[in-house]
Structure 1
Amino acid sequence: MAITVNIYYHGTNGNARKFAQEMVDRGIVDAIRAEKGNITYAYFFPMEDEETVLLIDSWTDQKALDIHHDSPMMQQIMELRDAYDLHMQVERYISDTNDIPSKDQQFIKV
Structure 2
Amino acid sequence: MFNLHVFYTAKDKATLDRFYDEVRAAGIIEATHEEEGNIRYEYYFCAARDNEILIVEQWKDRASQEYHDSLPHLVTLGEIKQKYGIETVIEEVR
- TM-score past 0.5 threshold: yes
Identity %: 23
Write 1 or 2 for the structure with the bigger share of strand. Answer: 2
* 2:59 is the counterpart of 1:59: yes
| Correspondence list, 1:3-42, <5 A | 3-14=2-13, 15-42=15-42
Write 1 or 2 for the structure with the bigger share of helix. Answer: 2
Q: Give how far 1:36 is off.
A: 0.4
Unpaired stretches in structure 2, ≥5 consecutive residues: none
Report the TM-score when normalising by structure 1. 0.78
Please give the alpha-carbon distance, in whole angstroms, between the structure 2 residues aligned to 1:18 and 1:6.
Answer: 21
Q: Is the 8 A contact 1:16 1:52 kept in 2?
A: yes
Report the TM-score when normalising by structure 2. 0.89
Residue equivalent to 2:48: 48
Unpaired stretches in structure 1, ≥5 consecutive residues: 95-110
Q: Which has the higher contact order (CA 8 A, sep 6+)?
A: 2
Q: Give how far 1:17 is off.
A: 3.1
Q: Is the 8 A contact 1:10 1:52 kept in 2?
A: yes
